[in-house]
């Protein structure tokens, strides 16, 4: 039988990456040599290297298949709790991010106008000198606080924060206020934990409000949910859209946007008034439940029916079913909860609902008041001097305008107003790492205007993202398959992200970049590690006798588990679940979960909904050719009833207008959305011509989004923008 | 005969979430060019009227038929059914890229790689299976929809899934001159798909591996599967292909598209 299995070269897939690869193959194979020593690769340089994914923040364990110094395939690591042997479409496609023909492979310095896209190549020495000189100039002239630092959640962020706090700026922008501020703030206040983990082992009843788990994929949790559904668990999905998650639900309720809070409050009303809850649990572990009956009396299912558009009987039935399933019932806390200005209250209500059925922490309960990443393992870190004292106000209003927003969350979208007004002081520089505020923040025009106020902008990224396109210096980072990052403990194991191939071009790790920059800024004492491996060895030191080689070989080490206390305690002021929060009362906010009426659109307007698709992560993956291959063309969803009224046909080009902007996009006429809503997949409409796959593909909802801030959690209300639609 | 393998897929339709991890995994594992794919997820689209809606995803690839129409039309002998495991494979060294098989496949499960001038299709990731791994699409299937294994082995994943299936159908093409007898078994389809399917025969028979259930295919089914009267169709496509083939011979190596 002839051999039919001759493999074609992977490079056929990413043909344009060939040039870059050819160059890197002449570089001494440091990674290959180290991997051989560690026993990961054979004599030909072939084998599997365990590492961690970075295509989203779920961080699955990966086994990278390497052949002759090239990564050819990624597999889910069966030993990692977040992947359990699987990777989603984004995780599978990760190597195309690394082999993206549009990779930035040398430091770049702008030569044309900002946004013109004209850069010249520079050496690392020159580029770092330019960045340091500009930062020091700003610091001398205006003070360290005139530098804004912003970065999206990543494993090297600890050193990014180190850089900004050592530099002495309080101005730190993260993606968090565009994502999960409402959940984190609400659950911190109620359970004393930012994000409780979910356990699907015995779950019988799942309520998803705004958590599109089959499209906003978290590999292991998505798989767990499907297993539970296949097992016969009841899945109730509240969503104005018929998402893929809704298509697998036992019951889909197309709720009016912004009213999930009313639905949950009515469920609490039914459970409390009919005494269906777990009184034993609440008596022992919660405070304020005695105040609930009077507080909640008004929130009847009939009241909620008027708000939500869901029949009172349905709400009542679901409340009873949910309580009957306790403690095997789960009201999911959500994740990206930046929807409406009442999202914080929604999250408080969800926390309360889970608590009154004793679903938290009890054996068999589906919500654990423990973060899997905080598994009692304390990693080492390089020693460093104390940070300089911060004396300036933060430009994002935390805490002077937003007293309850944790400092590390911040209110990123507020920064621009301070930049544009110069109040309370003028910012002059912006350091961006692995983030694309031009597309992620609402009101893109405002972000670009704020850019215009900057004397100096530097961006660290692996490709020419839109913010890099408008920057003065671009520093090329090594991709996640080419570098080390600080270690990550998950469920009792400590995992490593390690290079599986040599960095392409002159790309460098974030750990290296921040250290180099720190030294040039006179902050060398804050970066006391020789290199990435030394950093990780220092992290490993307190765990016992583990070598880096051992860690590299298996992808993780598992230190002996500490004795777990049997005592159930919550990290709140009272040590209990705070259904009633004294902290909120003292800050002048409602101490119990309380209805807040969200704004609603005029008769000629639609809610502009945002959401997720399983093939992309935010605005960072549209240039990945493999994901591009399997994506759906992003159109504006509209219900046939609404389309008929406007005389619109499927695929017709429409103009969508909000109070801050306007875009033209083809319409997708589909019954999978309420007639008062339209939906646009985020992440498209890139401005950077340096992204040859993504440029010109779709439109960005950031052009339309109006900046609305939830006053308690600081979360951006992303679904609170209302638009008109007409034939273009 | 008993220990001879018969590899096939079982696809649990109730568990496909259309995440497309399988497609990306397949593309990389098998170096599929960016303008082609070896595996598909058929999306019926959103059915019904608001708010009574349903949507079903049907992943598929080469059916590795018992009687593959692609083999009959292969002029070079490159397409063959592996006698050891039943997989339908292409010997790309022998393939001349005529494309007859692409047209003959009623499932549209083959493509012509214009650059290499050969036909390509799902090979059941035999390169992985032989070293004890699952096919790339199966290994990474988030919903647990895709299963692969030896249908002759009662202990295999596929046999066990078939035994526990609530419903079952295959996309068998039966006609005057054709009976594909495919080796992809679709299980647990929701009610909304019943128009596409019949057959609980297998459950009643109580067999571990069904042999001859009855199937029909709906009017709304897959376009290619529905191409009526495949036998007649093949005749016509021969003509079309022959024209292209001759044209290509005359014009030299140019992009070959159907």
Contact in structure between A262 and A299 (CB atoms under 8 Å): yes
* CA-based nearest distance A195→chain B, Å: 23
- Residue B218 pLDDT greater than 50, yes or no: no
Q: How far apart are CA A522 and CA A527, in angstroms?
A: 11
CA distance A88 to A217: 7
Interchain proximity B19–A215, CB inside 8 Å: yes
Nearest CA in chain B to A673: B50
pLDDT the model gives residue B191: 65
Query: Which of these ranges, A21-25, A82-86, A134-138, has the smallest mean pLDDT?
Result: A21-25
Q: Is there a contact between A332 and A207 (Cβ–Cβ < 8 Å)?
A: yes
Q: Which residue of A has its CA nearest to B82?
A: A1
Displacement of CA A369 from its chain's centroid (Å): 20
Number of helices (H) and strands (E) in chain B: give both, helices first. 9, 12
User: d(Cα A695, Cα A463) in Å, to the nearest integer?
Assistant: 13
Closest CB to A13 among B27, B90, B123 = B27
pLDDT, tens only, B219-248: 333 333 433 333 333 333 444 444 344 344
Checking if the pLDDT of A325 tops 50, the result is yes
Q: In this model, does residue A672 exceed pLDDT 90?
A: yes
Q: Is the pLDDT of residue A7 over 70?
A: no
Shortest CA gap A596–chain B (Å) = 27
Chain A contacts of B89, Cβ < 8 Å?
4
Q: Is B86 left (phi over 0), alpha (psi -120 to 50) or beta?
A: left
> Backbone phi, then psi, for A473, in 5-degree steps?
-135, 140
Q: Chain B interface, mutation test: which of A95, A247, A252, most B Cβ atoms within 10 Å?
A: A247
In Å, how far from its chain's centre is CA A220?
16
Interchain contact, A75 vs B116, CB within 8 Å: no
What does the alpha-carbon distance between residue B11 and residue B186 come to, in Å, rounded to a whole number? 5
CB contact under 8 A, A627 and B28: no
CB contact under 8 A, A629 and B142: no
CATH code for residues B7-251: 3.30.70.20
Task: Write down the mean pLDDT value for chain A.
Answer: 92
**d(CA B118, nearest CA chain A) in Å:** 12
Is the Cβ pair A13, B92 closer than 8 Å? no
List alpha helices for chain B, DSSP H. Answer: 21-29, 69-73, 100-104, 126-129, 136-139, 157-163, 201-205, 223-226, 230-251
Query: How many contacts (CB atoms, under 8 Å) link A and B?
Result: 150
Report whether B15 contacts B144 (CB < 8 A).
Answer: yes
Q: What percent of chain A has pLDDT over 90?
A: 85
Residue B47 burial (CB count, 10 A): 15
Q: Which of A9, A627, A671 is nearest residue B46 as measured by Cβ atoms?
A: A671
Q: Do B17 and A244 touch (CB under 8 A)?
A: yes
Compare A350 and A569 and report the one with higher pLDDT.
A350
Average pLDDT, chain B: 78
Q: What is the pLDDT of residue A375?
A: 64
Q: Best interface-test mutation with B: which of A82, A92, A243, A668 has the largest number of B CBs within 10 A?
A: A92
Quote the pTM value: 0.90
Q: Are A445 and A661 in contact (CB under 8 A)?
A: yes
What is the rounded distance in angstroms from the CA atom of residue B137 to the CA atom of residue A206? 28
Contact A613, A630 (CB under 8 A): no
Contact A4 B50 (CB under 8 A): no
Phi and psi, residue A135, nearest 5°? -65, -40
What's the CA gap between A98 and B6, in Å, rounded?
39
Cα(B181)–Cα(B151) distance, integer angstroms: 14
Q: Does the distance separating the beta carbons of A91 and B51 come in below 8 Å?
A: no
CA distance A719 to A706: 9
> Closest approach of chain B CAs to the CA of A510, in angstroms?
28
- Alpha-carbon distance B258 to B240, whole Å? 9
The pLDDT of residue A716 is above 90: yes
Smallest Cβ–Cβ distance between A629 and the set B14, B34, B141 belongs to B34
Facing B15 at nearest CB: one of A75, A226, A641: A226
Question: DSSP E strands: which ranges in chain B?
Answer: 7-12, 40-43, 47-49, 52-54, 57-60, 79-81, 88-90, 110-113, 118-121, 146-150, 168-169, 184-187
| pLDDT 10s digits, B11-31 | 999 999 999 999 999 999 999
B123 vs A5: CB contact, 8 Å cut-off? yes
pLDDT of amino acid B168: 85
What are the residues facing A360 on neighbouring strands?
Answer: A367
CA A98 to chain B, closest CA, distance in angstroms equals 14
| SS3 at position B126 | helix
Closest partner CB to A223 (pick from B51, B90, B142):
B142
DSSP letters of A122-165? --HHHHHHHHHHHHHHHHHHH-GGGEEEEE-S-TTHHHHHHHHH
Percent of chain A residues topping a pLDDT of 70: 94
Which residue is closest to B126 within chain A, CA to CA?
Answer: A5
Is pLDDT above 50 for B250? Answer: no
* pLDDT tens digits, A679-703: 999 999 999 999 999 999 999 999 9
- Give tens-digit pLDDT for A540-552: 999 989 999 999 9
Whether A362 shows a pLDDT value over 90: the answer reads no
SS3 B241: helix
Q: Which domains does chain A have, with CATH numbers?
A: 10-98 (2.20.25.90), 108-177+377-488+506-557 (3.40.50.740), 196-370 (3.40.228.10), 606-727 (2.40.40.20)
pLDDT bucket at A263, cuts 50 / 70 / 90:
very high
- Residue B2: the pLDDT is 52
Please name the residue of chain B whose CA is at the shortest distance from the CA of residue A615: B19
Q: Which residue has the higher pLDDT, A641 or A282?
A: A641
Question: Does the pLDDT value for residue A369 go beyond 70?
Answer: no
For residue A574, report the phi and psi dihedrals to the nearest 5 degrees. -90, -10
Chain A residue with Cα closest to B40: A630
Q: Are strands B57-60 and B40-43 parallel, antiparallel or unpaired?
A: antiparallel
Question: Is pLDDT above 70 for A370?
Answer: no
CA of A102: how far to CAs of A290, A347, A459, A499, A615, in Å?
60, 40, 16, 20, 19
* Cβ-Cβ contacts under 8 Å, B94 against chain A: 2
Instruction: Please list the helix, strand and coil fractions of chain A in percent, rounded to the nearest 5, in that order.
Output: 35, 15, 50
Give φ, ψ of A369 to 5 degrees.
-80, 45
| Closest Cβ opposite residue A614 in set B19, B27, B46 | B19
For a pLDDT cut of 90, what percent of chain B falls above it?
Answer: 60
Q: Indicate yes or no: CB of A8 within 8 angstroms of CB of B31.
A: yes
Phi-psi region of A691 (alpha: psi -120 to 50; beta: other; left: phi over 0): beta
Q: Is the pLDDT of residue A171 over 50?
A: yes
**Which pLDDT tens digit goes with each residue over A602-613?**
999 999 999 999
Task: Report strand pairing: A456-461 vs A473-476.
Answer: parallel
Averaged pLDDT, B38-54: 91
Q: Which residues contact A363 (CB under 8 A, 6 or more apart)?
A: none
> Rounded to an integer, what distance in angstroms lies between the CA atom of residue A381 and that of residue A455?
34
Query: What is d(CA A497, CA B108) in angstroms, rounded to the nearest whole number?
Result: 41
Task: Compute the distance between CA of residue B215 and CA of residue B200 in angstroms, rounded to an integer.
Answer: 10
DSSP A512-581: HHHHHHHHHTT-GGG---SSHHHHHHHHHGGG-S--HHHHHHHSEE-PPPPPPP-S---SSTTSSEESS-
**Which residue from B14, B46, B91 is facing A672, i.e. has the nearest CB?**
B46
Distance CA A238, CA A331 (A): 11
Segment A10-50, tens digit of pLDDT: 333 333 333 333 333 344 457 777 777 777 888 778 899 99
Q: How far apart are the C-alpha atoms of A267 and A271, rounded to whole Å? A: 6
The CA distance from A362 to the nearest CA of chain B, in Å, is: 28
Mean pLDDT of A256-278: 96
Name the packing angle between helices A510-520 and A157-167 (round to 10°): 10
Show Cβ contacts of residue A531 under 8 Å, excluding neighbours closer than 6 positions: A511, A512
**Among A701, A702, A719, CA closest to A710:** A719
ipTM above 0.90, yes or no: yes
* CA–CA min distance A489, chain B (Å): 24
| Contact criterion met (CB below 8 Å) for A52 and A61 | yes
Q: Above 80 in pLDDT, residue A165?
A: yes
What is the C-alpha separation between A504 and A48, in angstroms, rounded? 19
A461 and A468 Cβ atoms separated by less than 8 Å: yes
- The residues with which A686 forms a beta bridge, in sequence order, are A695
Query: What is the band of B193 on the pLDDT scale with cuts at 50, 70, 90?
Result: low
Render pLDDT for B59-91 as a digit per residue (tens, 0 to 9): 999 999 999 999 999 999 999 999 999 999 999
For testing the chain B interface, which of A17, A61, A71, A226 should be mutated: the one with the most B CBs within 10 Å?
A226
Contact A89 B20 (CB under 8 A): yes
- Cα distance between residue A120 and residue A475, in whole Å: 12
What does the buried/exposed string (b/e) look like for A139-175 if buried means 16 or more CB atoms within 10 Å of the residue's CB? Answer: beebebbbbbbbbbebbbbebbbbbbbbbbbbbbbbb
3-state secondary structure of A78: coil
What pLDDT sits at residue B232?
Answer: 34
């Amino acid at each position: 039988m002839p051999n039919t299995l001759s493999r074609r070269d992977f490079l056929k897939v990413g043909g344009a990456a060939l040039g870059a690869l050819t160059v890197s193959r002449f570089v001494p194979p440091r990674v290959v040599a180290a991997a051989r020593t560690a026993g990961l690769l054979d004599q030909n340089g072939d084998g599997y290297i365990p590492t961690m994914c970075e295509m989203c923040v779920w961080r699955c364990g990966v086994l990278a298949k390497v052949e002759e110094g090239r990564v050819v395939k990624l597999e889910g690591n069966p030993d990692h709790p977040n992947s359990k042997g699987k990777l989603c479409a984004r995780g599978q496609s990760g190597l195309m991010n690394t082999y993206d023909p549009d990779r930035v492979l040398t430091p770049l310095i702008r030569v044309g106008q900002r946004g013109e896209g004209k850069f010249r190549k520079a050496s690392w020495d020159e580029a770092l000198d330019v960045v340091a000189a500009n930062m020091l100039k700003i610091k001398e002239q205006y003070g360290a606080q005139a530098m804004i630092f912003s970065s999206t959640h990543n494993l090297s962020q600890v050193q990014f924060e180190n850089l900004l706090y050592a530099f002495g700026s309080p101005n730190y922008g993260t993606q968090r206020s565009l994502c999960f501020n409402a959940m984190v703030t609400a659950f911190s206040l109620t359970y004393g934990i930012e994000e409780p983990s979910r356990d699907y082992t015995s779950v019988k009843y799942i309520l998803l409000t705004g958590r599109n788990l089959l499209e906003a994929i978290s590999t292991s949790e998505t798989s767990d949910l499907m297993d539970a559904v296949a097992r016969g668990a009841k899945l109730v999905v509240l969503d104005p859209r018929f998402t893929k998650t809704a298509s697998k639900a036992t019951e889909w309720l197309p709720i009016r946007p912004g009213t999930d809070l009313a639905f949950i409050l009515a469920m609490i009303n039914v459970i409390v008034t009919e005494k269906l809850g777990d009184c034993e649990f609440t008596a022992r572990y919660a405070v304020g439940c005695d105040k609930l009956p009077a507080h909640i009396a008004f929130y009847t299912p009939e009241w909620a029916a008027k708000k939500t558009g869901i029949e009172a009987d349905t709400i009542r039935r679901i409340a009873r079913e949910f309580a009957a399933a306790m403690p095997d019932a789960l009201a999911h806390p959500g994740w990206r909860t930046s929807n409406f200005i009442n999202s914080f209250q929604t999250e408080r209500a969800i926390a309360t609902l889970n608590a009154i059925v004793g679903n938290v922490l009890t054996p068999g309960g589906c919500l654990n008041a423990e973060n899997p990443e905080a598994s009692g393992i304390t990693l080492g870190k390089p020693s460093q001097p104390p940070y300089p004292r911060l004396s300036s106000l933060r430009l994002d209003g935390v805490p002077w305008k937003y007293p309850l927003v944790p400092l590390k969350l911040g209110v990123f979208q507020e920064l621009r107003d301070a930049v544009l007004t110069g109040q309370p002081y003028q910012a002059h520089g912006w350091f961006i790492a692995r983030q694309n505020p031009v597309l992620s923040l609402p009101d893109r025009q405002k972000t670009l205007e704020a850019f215009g106020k900057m004397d100096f902008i530097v961006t660290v990224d692996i490709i020419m993202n839109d913010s890099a396109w408008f920057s003065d210096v671009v520093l090329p980072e090594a991709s996640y398959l080419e570098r080390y990052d600080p270690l990550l403990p998950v469920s009792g194991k400590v995992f490593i992200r390690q290079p599986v191939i040599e960095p392409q071009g002159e790309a460098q790790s974030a750990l290296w970049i921040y250290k180099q920059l720190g030294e040039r800024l006179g902050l060398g004492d804050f970066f006391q590690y020789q290199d990435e491996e030394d950093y990780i060895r220092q992290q490993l030191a307190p765990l016992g006798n583990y070598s880096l080689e051992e860690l590299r070989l298996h992808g993780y080490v598992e230190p002996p588990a500490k004795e777990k206390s049997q005592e159930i305690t919550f990290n709140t002021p009272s040590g209990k679940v705070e259904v009633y929060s004294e902290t909120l009362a003292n800050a002048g906010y409602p101490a119990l979960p309380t209805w807040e009426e969200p704004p609603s659109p005029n008769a000629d307007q639609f809610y502009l909904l945002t959401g997720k698709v399983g093939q992309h992560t935010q605005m960072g993956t549209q240039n990945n050719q493999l994901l591009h291959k399997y994506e759906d063309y992003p159109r504006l969803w509209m219900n046939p009833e609404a389309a008929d009224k406007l005389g619109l046909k499927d695929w017709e080009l429409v103009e969508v207008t909000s109070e801050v902007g306007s875009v033209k996009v083809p319409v997708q006429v589909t019954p999978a959305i309420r007639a008062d809503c339209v939906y646009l997949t985020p992440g498209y409409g890139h401005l950077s011509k340096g992204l040859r796959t993504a440029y010109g593909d779709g439109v960005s909802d950031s052009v339309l989004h109006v900046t609305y801030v939830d006053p308690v959690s600081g979360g951006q209300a992303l679904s609170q923008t209302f638009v008109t639609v007409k034939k273009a | 005969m008993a220990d001879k393998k018969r590899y096939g897929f079982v696809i649990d339709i109730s568990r496909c979430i259309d995440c497309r991890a399988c497609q990306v995994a397949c593309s990389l594992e098998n170096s599929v060019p960016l303008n082609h794919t070896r595996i598909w997820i058929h999306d019926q689209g959103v059915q019904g009227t608001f708010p009574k809606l349903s949507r079903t995803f049907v992943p598929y690839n080469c059916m590795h038929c018992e009687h593959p129409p692609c083999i009959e039309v292969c002029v070079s002998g490159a397409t063959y059914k592996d006698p050891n495991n039943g997989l339908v494979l292409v010997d790309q060294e022998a393939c001349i890229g005529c494309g007859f098989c692409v047209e003959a496949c009623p499932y549209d499960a083959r493509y012509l790689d214009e650059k290499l001038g050969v036909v390509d299709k799902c090979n059941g990731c035999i390169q992985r299976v032989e070293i004890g791994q699952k096919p790339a699409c199966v290994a990474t299937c988030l919903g647990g929809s895709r299963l692969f294994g030896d249908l002759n082995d009662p202990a295999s994943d596929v046999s066990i899934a078939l035994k526990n299936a609530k419903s079952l159908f295959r996309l068998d093409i039966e006609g005057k001159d054709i009976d594909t007898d495919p080796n992809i078994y679709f299980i647990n389809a929701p009610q909304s798909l019943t128009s596409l399917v019949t057959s609980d025969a297998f459950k009643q028979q109580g067999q571990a591996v069904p042999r001859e259930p009855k199937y029909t295919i709906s009017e709304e089914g897959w376009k290619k599967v529905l191409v009526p009267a495949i036998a007649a169709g093949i005749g016509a496509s021969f003509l079309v292909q022959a024209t292209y083939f001759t044209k290509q011979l005359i014009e030299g190596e140019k992009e070959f598209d159907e």
